[in-house]
Structure 1
Amino acid sequence: MVILTTRAEPGSSDARSLIDLSMTAEQREKARQLVEMADGHTLRLHLPRGSVLRPGDVLLSDTGEPVARIRAEPEPVYTLRADDPFALLRAAYHLGNRHVAMELAPDYLRIKPDHVLAHLIGHLGGLRIIDESAAFVPEKGAYMAHHYAH
């Protein structure tokens, strides 16, 4: 079994030789886990505690060999859109006050589906909630440092 212990800078390896690991946002937050591959092989993630993987991250084996590249697997999300940018800003404020994991983009916000939050968003006005399946890459908290091994 291959054990992945270190995260390297994105683009630090030849992409053609890497295994693509598609993971949901929740799976990318688990530093210690077993990952079953489609071909039946298993990879063990044994990263430093608190590691959060981002799409494009390259994982190295315990011998330092680049093995895998992280991909964001599509998952159920609410994508919030508005014609008025202030409506998105207002939604981000209210969702942030509730410590909701959120993906931020210039023209949308993305959150995990939650009927209570959908109700709140509906009362804010000016927003469209699109229930879809898409990659979810929430903003990392300002307190979280992003360290790479060199």
Structure 2
Amino acid sequence: MILVEADVSEDWDSRTDWPALADRSVRAAVAHSRHAALSDGDAEVSVKFTSDEEVHALNAEWREKDKPTNVLSFPMVEEHELATAPMLGDIVLAHGVCTAEASARNLPIESHAAHLVVHGMLHLLGYDHETSDEDAEEMEEAERRALASIGIADPYH
């Protein structure tokens, strides 16, 4: 069983159970990916709900982009190593960016954050929407299936 460790900063509304959302979203992403067998493994994923400032610093350091972004993924292993990896990686969400995007799309922040966790988890599993149109379509289809399984509408519709 995949262990999901969540860290939630004070920026995120305490009325929402963000660790439960992270757990549900990670499990859905794995179950509806090409690596569904990992659901039975003993790997760990870290999900951090933090500030725009922290994500901005991480984005600048690791991607050389001087701005915050909605979600960052930091895989710990290559895709071919996933089956034996104790730690799959880290997913980091920026509160302000996520909130602004959810508001602009008239979505609950919880639904948008779940989508971003699923998206980030798929990156940890080796999916990459920037390599080709076919890869982007495969990733988006996995996102749709994962989100539907937890009651969230198609974000690309």
Q: TM-score, normalised by structure 1?
A: 0.25
Query: Whose strand fraction is larger, Structure 1's or Structure 2's?
Result: 1
TM-score, normalised via structure 2 length: 0.25
The structure where helix makes up a greater share of residues is 2
Larger gyration radius, structure 1 or structure 2: 1
